[in-house]
Structure 1
């Protein structure tokens, strides 16, 4: 086909592209950056509500930089991958300290911020400032791998280099912001992982995967490996006022730095820990459930210790606190823990 990929994609975008996403109005650097970080492992439909809540509370980069970590993590709670939120917070502080409270327009300075990286930096500069920088998020990788017939997992360095080369080649010199949104939209709405809508795609005419019936095989999947399973017992210590004992997790491991429930390896250990923190009479085993991380499954067995009476000394421990339902809502909690506490609260 004589028209360039960018020309066809922009023509399609003008008719079918998404133009009413909340971070597009206005499409400034802070809003683009926040949306890009939120979208790294999450679908647009899920992100919109989180974005709007976040931007209402912290409408500017300076507001984010000045916020305490608990506020940031509470706003992020439910999106997962909490390291993204911490990087976002730290990057905002660096921008305040070193860049006048704004995201830098220089690619190298932007790329050097915690959690940004090449594709996010390119997306910010392209969408907020109209500068010619390519992006290569998951949707774009899928589009380009199929269009050019590139085999191999996109996470492999050699494959990624090929994809970056094509991404840069196709990025136009004008309407860069629209093009960037267009290629992401194409991957999110038509060139999806399963059952892509090739009949509606503006690039189908010279797409290698479509031509050679390879859409189910490209991009190549990551080599599979067995996901291990772990188990834990979560202690729900609740006093007569309905307050629940929370414990701030350490700096290492999953949910690092979040407020969560005390944990034990088994029910016997749970009793020992519960008796260290409160006077208790009995425990009620709640329905177990499983939470799936990217690298393992966690089988969770909750134990409810109702009418617990706090032991002395907890008020002096900065990593332990009794919290009311309202206080819990203002803290950063792992999504499954927040869901569990809401269910217990609703049940009375």
Structure 2
């Protein structure tokens, strides 16, 4: 029994290694693409679209939706815990350091939207499709960074995490404004009340999971019922979690939760999400007309070019006007390499594609997101490896 516990502990420790988590994520993505573009596509689609859950609570969702809205909330909770720690006691504790990723995220949303709108102007559906390239996929971007940038300062990871969280929150806000057919005020008030209870229990130093787990589940259900993207519940609860430890504690609640949930996030939540989200059929017909479709072309340019220009441009202006500072140990060239990862739209971009467009137009938009995300990943990987080697050589010479 002891040997089994040791094996489980070792496996969990293995999953906490970001490089391993990134490889598992990319592996799940590859499997999804193979399944969606093979004779197994019908079986894959049937599993993804199979509905399960209690209808009485409005939770009769497809397996794909459970992965996207449910499992991904765990990842957002873990990412939110790390962000909260960095804001309170870490790299972002300084106002100017915290300002940079926020400004960069805004630039990384505005420029891609303008490009997509400009390129696709006059096309049917562009009035909502312009929002497709505004999002950065946190999980995929961090996965690529973990695999390719071992020699870079840790401050760059914090910068990317913060930027991606702000970016995704902005994209979720756009979804709420553009695509929410109805807003349930009572459910939203219930979610706020549960969050307030969570914060109160944190303040009173209550630690039992018998209270926190039902509150977390109830908050998720309430946010979902309100018509808001349910993963925001994970971020909200994480930001309400205490990150400073008391004198009698070995670790603060945020660090304990992060340690316990990270293996589940990296080993289950994110790979399963990727398995069902990345299965985009890429037929010859879709690829053949991709660059003739103005909306698809706007999406590609928005993600690959717009994200880079927006993030780097906004960051440079913020530093130039002394509203922000570069991440510690990093400079403009490092930001260019990390900014390229902003073009990995994927999760939320695919979601907005489904919401904004129908039929063949939606398929082309999703193919454009996939192609742009792959291009951005490869370009970013090349830049990150190069910058990582530069930093490693500098460390060796020092």
Q: State TM-score, norm by structure 1.
A: 0.27
Greater RCO between the two (CA within 8 Å, min separation 6)? 2
Q: State TM-score, norm by structure 2.
A: 0.24
Q: Which has the higher helix share?
A: 2
Query: Max radius of gyration: which structure?
Result: 1
